[in-house]
Structure 1
């Protein structure tokens, strides 16, 4: 089976335990995470061979990170180790509760990955074994070099006929290197086959809003049909794109969300069921778990958009019950939830 290749920065994650605030906590729990690495872990869990491509420093923390990725069967053959000291990016997480939102603080400026530049990754060699390439909007937000390498990879993938997917993943706090997302993303996205986003991504990056709905006022259920207009506008803007997927989240509070999604192709909108997630353990990585589930579904059920969408939404609903960025659920667990078994009975 040919591989799925993902490309981006993986970071050290330092999180306060037990919903403590930063000023309260004497300890921080250390794990790893990053959009594209999270997708690779999900796919590897489902039995899809993957390779995660990134640039890491030569130090013990990066060694630890690579060991963690290998533990989850993610391919690390094309991780480049920088010759200098360098450092990994870090993000700090304070997990909110009820009316108090979670908070993320990034410390990734001038990381080893931010200094990446075209010509150092052998994309043609990497893509020889590939059928799919995935990137997110986080990568080009980090530096001019990261944006250039992302475009370099996409162009080679296009030449070789490899499916290219993108999670728009707009992060306003990351676009600091001189250009804004709306200046960089259109060229990258125009070369993609599949794009995933939410209503904020489409609005902030491309100025596209759903007709006649204010998502911020959605208290419990979101009408997926209202987002058909977003998909239609994105399709008009990016003619190469075959499928457009929107994740739908209504936040009742920090611990209770309603979660679903829709998929648009050739004028038809597919809608998932919506899950009431009433006791969220960790929502960080929820969109990445959706993307991992979606890629698995589109590979495994290439003629059944509904089945692929249902798998993605169920996979990401389960992620909200898993601590850390990685969605370490099994294929069987996702399939059981798709079938309606969400009671959480003990498995004996």
Structure 2
């Protein structure tokens, strides 16, 4: 039996379910008439990890009202996630294509999300009091408000409802430049959403792009862990000063080098910066969902009332292990992740 939360508190994740379609770079899929497909989306990846770790988890998204959606919803439910809040409406299923080859650096992302059921969902449609009943933690990402102004307004609507219920709110500062195409800069949208958040996760460059928190121009000239952690501390303090509701800021640092990877993280809380050990690997299998797994690890740690450093260590090991798992969500158990934790920080 996996160790998990024994409370009745539910974590609700909010965001668009996406199908990831993976043609190979050489075009063999055309000859085989076959394309690998993975069910994902940042917030669903978080929910999938938490459910695997025995945390009571609920997922909100909007999907078209058709038989394909029913198959996908059943697939999600089979993973132990409460799908009762999923809204069926007008529009299509959101997709993205990730072309993969031997060299992971040459992956190409193509989004196909315009007119999706999630993007078409308007404020004023969902009874958030019903959706949020029994929820103690609400999580979303910066990918949602990147879609359209309407979706940004929808995010604000649910954040207001969650805030009124004193629900803990977290955000992953996922920055996707290819999505911000509706005439607004991220800094015009994101601050009004982040002001409701109690936990902010991302990296110093995303904080700059989305919130206008400047990164030191000299940072990459002094390529050391010490300097990157100092930048994380500075960025975290500025986020907390600007957004008083924020109590915790987490930063990830992932550096790709000749197909290999170096990874470590930091967490700032109660005036103290914690940092993880260094994790390195010569090759990785699938980078998709690693950040989502880190976010899930943070939520897991706080739900389990773990100490900040223990929470960070668990989340970091979970994220690193995901790099060696094909698909969008982790398959690693709590025990497997705990055994993978490095303590030489």
TM-score (norm 1): 0.90
> CA–CA distance in 1 between the matches of 2:221 and 2:135?
39
Match of 1:209 among 205, 211, 214: 214
Is 1:14–2:17 an aligned residue pair? Answer: no
> CA–CA distance in 2 between the matches of 1:221 and 1:14?
39
Task: Report if the CA contact (8 A) 2:266-2:276 is conserved.
Answer: yes
Alignment RMSD: 2.0
Task: Report if the CA contact (8 A) 1:222-1:248 is conserved.
Answer: no
Residue 323 of structure 1 is matched in structure 2 by 326
Structure 1 residue 287, shift from structure 2 partner:
0.7
Name structure 2 gaps, 5 residues minimum.
1-7
TM-score (norm 2): 0.91
Question: Against the structure 1 CA distance between its residues 11 and 22, is the aligned structure 2 distance closer, same or farther, given a 3 Å change threshold?
Answer: farther
Residue 204 of structure 2 is matched in structure 1 by 199
Name structure 1 gaps, 5 residues minimum.
341-348
Is 1:5–2:12 an aligned residue pair? Answer: yes
Residue 264 of structure 1 is matched in structure 2 by 268
> CA–CA distance in 2 between the matches of 1:272 and 1:199?
16
Question: In structure 2, the residue corresponding to 1:172 is in which secondary structure?
Answer: coil
C-alpha deviations, 1:248-286, integer Å up to 9, x for none?
A: 111113x31111110011321000011103221100111
Match runs of 1:93-112 below 5 Å: 93-98=98-103, 100-112=105-117
Residue 5 of structure 2 is matched in structure 1 by none
> CA–CA distance in 1 between the matches of 2:292 and 2:249?
15
Is 1:118–2:106 an aligned residue pair? Answer: no
Question: Against the structure 1 CA distance between its residues 88 and 219, is the aligned structure 2 distance closer, same or farther, given a 3 Å change threshold?
Answer: farther
Residue 77 of structure 2 is matched in structure 1 by 70
Match of 2:337 among 317, 334, 338: 334
> CA–CA distance in 2 between the matches of 1:216 and 1:118?
45
Is 1:172–2:177 an aligned residue pair? Answer: yes
Structure 1 residue 97, shift from structure 2 partner:
3.8
Task: Report if the CA contact (8 A) 1:224-1:248 is conserved.
Answer: no
Match of 2:94 among 89, 94, 107: 89
Residue 291 of structure 1 is matched in structure 2 by 295
Task: Report if the CA contact (8 A) 1:220-1:251 is conserved.
Answer: no
Task: Report if the CA contact (8 A) 2:277-2:342 is conserved.
Answer: no
